Amino acid sequence: MPSAFSHAAAALGIGTAFFGRKASARVWGLGAFCAALPDADVIGFRFGVRYGDLLGHRGLTHSFAFAAALALLATPLARKEGESPPPGKLWTYLFLATASHGLLDAMTDGGLGIALLAPFKNARYFFPFRPIEVSPIGIGRFFSQRGLDVMKSEFLWVWLPSLALAGIALGLRESARRRHIE
């Protein structure tokens, strides 16, 4: 799994493509939260939930169904009268922010795969191209040489593409704005 920081960075890149610079802090924060939340499933280890179980790590919370449900629940929280994007646009952003978690995890070089189709199918999937180094579970292990290696990998494969997406989206918006003015 990429770190929570990188999942949030991906959500911010996606959000910039949707909203430019015009979203509220509430929308940005919920997008980052939704993108990182699927890894809360690691708490199951403490209660005897096995990794490969439906509720195990990279199981249901990493699925498209979970992303849809979380976006549905979070959309009203992101809305504020008079300054919010339309609900459909918010839902789509929050869905993609959440779904990006499982998709990024499917690009990592470790673990059992991602149950993208749960709860309908608990099969675990990886992409054929898996360049992201899997992040260690636990904060203590993250602040080590291994954690530094993971951050280098995430910078290359998550942060730079997210920044590029944001930059391209902002550039296209500015170009469209200029064409509209002329």
pTM of the model: 0.90
Residue corresponding to tokens 């942060």: 159
The per-residue pLDDT for range 130-172, each reduced to its tens digit, is 999 888 766 666 667 777 888 899 999 999 999 999 999 999 9
Mean pLDDT score of the chain, rounded to an integer?
91
With cut-offs at 50, 70 and 90, classify the pLDDT of residue 39: very high
With cut-offs at 50, 70 and 90, classify the pLDDT of residue 176: confident
* Cβ-Cβ contacts under 8 Å for 65 (sequence gap 6 or more): 117, 118, 119, 120
Per-residue pLDDT at 8: 93
User: Is residue 2 predicted with pLDDT exceeding 70?
Assistant: no
User: Is residue 1 predicted with pLDDT exceeding 70?
Assistant: no
The per-residue pLDDT for range 57-86, each reduced to its tens digit, is 999 999 999 999 999 999 999 887 666 789
The per-residue pLDDT for range 7-17, each reduced to its tens digit, is 999 999 999 99
24 touches 81 (CB < 8 A): no
Q: What is the mean pLDDT of residues 94-107?
A: 97
Residue corresponding to tokens 């209660």: 47
Higher pLDDT, residue 122 or 105:
105
Which DSSP letter does residue 159 get? Answer: I
Higher pLDDT, residue 89 or 3:
89
Buried residues in 3-21 as b, exposed as e (16+ CB within 10 A): bbebbbbbbbbbbbbbbee
